[in-house]
Amino acid sequence: MSASPYPPVRRVVTGHTPEGESSVLKDMHQPPRFWYPGATSPIYDLHWTSEAPARLDTELTSPNREWVDESLGHPEVVSPNGSVFRALDMAPGDSSPWHRTESCDYVIVMKGIISLELQHGEPTVLKTGDVIVQRATMHRWVNKSAVEWATIYYVAVPAIPVEVGGKKLEAYFPPQ
């Protein structure tokens, strides 16, 4: 499998100077990572907050007066008390494992065609520009193209677990 033909995601993070003026804190290409060994689809951790409302003043309050980047090094799919912003380049023929997160996910298909599969009903084919509000359901993403890569961006916000018939539908992401 070849590497993604898309360039790494450029991430620009804004903040404040000690005088309260707006400024760019970070402007860089975010390094890709992979969910598990042998994975072919790179994911980009773009932003992570550990609480809501989010603290947006670490460049003013940290001991060294630098912005604290919480986005790197989190193995969790969802921030339990904050939010997550990620991008995923999905290789041709690749699919995510079936999974459920205790979150409301706002997903945008940026490039290509991707299929959203749920436990009930036909797969939903999504094209560039389509958006999905993914509400803590068991699902998977599939790139059914044999040649074209696809890219999705998403924000995940923690949610109260769904209960059906008195049973909590718990988060599930298979170990790899």
User: Is 173 inside a domain boundary?
Assistant: no
Those residues whose C-beta lies under 8 Å from the C-beta of residue 148, and which sit 6 or more positions away, are 92, 112, 113
**What pLDDT, on the 0 to 100 scale, is given for residue 103?**
96
Encode pLDDT of 52-73 as tens digits: 999 899 999 988 888 888 887 7
User: What's the residue count for the chain?
Assistant: 176
Q: Give the number of domains in the chain.
A: 1
In the chain, which residues have pLDDT < 50?
A: none
pLDDT tens string 154-167: 999 999 999 999 99
| 2 inside domain | no
Let me know if residue 176 belongs to a domain: no
Quote the pLDDT of residue 37: 80
pLDDT of residue 109: 98
d(Cα 85, Cα 35) in Å, to the nearest integer? 15
CATH at residue 146? 2.60.120.10
- With CA atoms as reference, report the closest residue to 119 among 104, 105, 99: 99
CA-to-CA dists, residue 61 to 14, 71, 140, angstroms: 15, 18, 40
pLDDT at position 68 is 86
Q: Is 40 a domain residue? A: yes
Q: What pTM was estimated for this model as a whole? A: 0.90
Domain that holds residue 55: 10-168
Q: Is residue 47 part of a domain?
A: yes
Could you tell me if residue 1 is inside a domain? no
At residue 176, the pLDDT reads: 64
Q: Which residues contact 39 (CB under 8 A, 6 or more apart)?
A: 176
